[in-house]
Amino acid sequence: METIQFSIDTETLGLKDDAPIIQIGIAAFDIFAEPGKVISSTEFVVNHGIINNVEPYAAAMNYKILALLGGYEVEDPLDCEIVHVSLAASVIAAFMAGFDIETPTCAGKNFASFDRPKLEALPGWETHMPRIHHRSPDPGSMWWVPKIDGAVLPGLKTCMERAGIAGEVAHTAEEDAIVVAKLIQIWVANQ
C-alpha cells in the first residue's frame, strides 16, 4: 500500500482556462505522518517571457511573483528559483522521480479541476511526467459540511478553520501545498 502523496498547488494570473501559471509548489508527504510533517517540498516561479490573459485581481494578489520576474525590488521579496515555462514539467517530474512511485497520487485544493489541467498544458508534460493517478484527494470534500455549506464545497480558509489550523491562506504555492498536506494528514488521523 502506497502512503506517499504529492500535494501540488499553482499560483496563476486568473481563474480562466488561459490564465498562465506563475508559481508551482509541491510537497511530498506520508498520509500517516504527524500533521504538517512533509518529506520534502519545493517551489519555483514560472517565466513565460511575455504574459497574456492576466486578470487584474490575480496580478495584484501575486505582485511579489511578478516583481521577481520583472527584476523589481519590493518589500519582503520572494526568494525563489525562476524556471522557464519550457522546463517546468521536467522540474516537477525530477522532484517526483526521487520517490520512485510508478503512478503518483497528487492532492490539492481543486487539483483535479483547476491545477491539473493547467499543469497538463505545460510544454513537455506528456514527455516528462509519469502517469499520475486519476483520483485526487481534495480537502474541500474532506472538510465539507453540507448542513452549513449547502452544495458548495468550502474554500481553503474554511477547511483550515475546521481542522484547527490557525492563520491565513498564504497564496504562495509551496505554503499552500504544505497546508493541503496537513489537512489531509489531520483528516486521515481522525479516521
Residue 16: pLDDT band (50, 70, 90) is very high
Among the listed residues 79, 72, 102, 89, the one whose alpha carbon sits nearest the alpha carbon of residue 10: 89
Q: What pLDDT is attached to residue 130?
A: 81
Q: Which three cell numbers stand for residue 40?
A: 520534502
Give the model confidence (pLDDT) of 67-112 as tens digits.
999 999 888 888 899 999 999 999 999 999 999 999 999 999 999 9
Q: What is the pTM of this model?
A: 0.95
Q: Domains plus CATH for the chain?
A: 4-189 (3.30.420.10)
> Is the predicted pLDDT of residue 123 greater than 90, yes or no?
yes
Q: Which three cell numbers stand for residue 39?
A: 518529506
Mean pLDDT score across all residues of the chain: 95
- Return d(Cα 111, Cα 131) in angstroms, integer: 15
Give the model confidence (pLDDT) of 28-39 as tens digits.
999 999 999 999
Residue 11 near residue 20 (C-beta atoms within 8 A): no
